[in-house]
Amino acid sequence: MRAKLPIGRVVGPADVAALAVHIMSNTALTGATFDIDGGQQFVF
């Protein structure tokens, strides 16, 4: 599965945590949707 993902690895808990921190600390974000899928949406 890793070879099929554009980033070459499976997304893990640290990736989700980093995004959560970014969302909570960025005052300019409003109503955004983030896909944490390693680029899988571009493969299929």
pLDDT digits (tens, 9 = 90+) for 18-42: 999 999 999 998 888 888 777 666 6
**Mean pLDDT, residues 14-18 taken together:** 92
Q: Tell me, yes or no, whether 38 lies in a domain.
A: no
Number of domains in the chain: 1
pTM of structure: 0.64
Q: Tell me, yes or no, whether 16 lies in a domain.
A: yes
Q: Tell me, yes or no, whether 1 lies in a domain.
A: yes
Q: Tell me, yes or no, whether 2 lies in a domain.
A: yes
Residues near 6 by beta carbon (within 8 Å), at least 6 away in sequence: 38, 39, 42, 43
**pLDDT tier at 14 (50, 70, 90 boundaries)?**
very high
Residues near 36 by beta carbon (within 8 Å), at least 6 away in sequence: 11, 15, 16, 19
pLDDT surpasses 60 at 44: no
Q: Tell me, yes or no, whether 32 lies in a domain.
A: no
Whole-angstrom distance, CA of residue 27 vs CA of residue 16: 19
What is residue 11's predicted lDDT score, i.e. its pLDDT? 83
Question: Which residue segment(s) compose the domain that 3 sits in?
Answer: 1-27
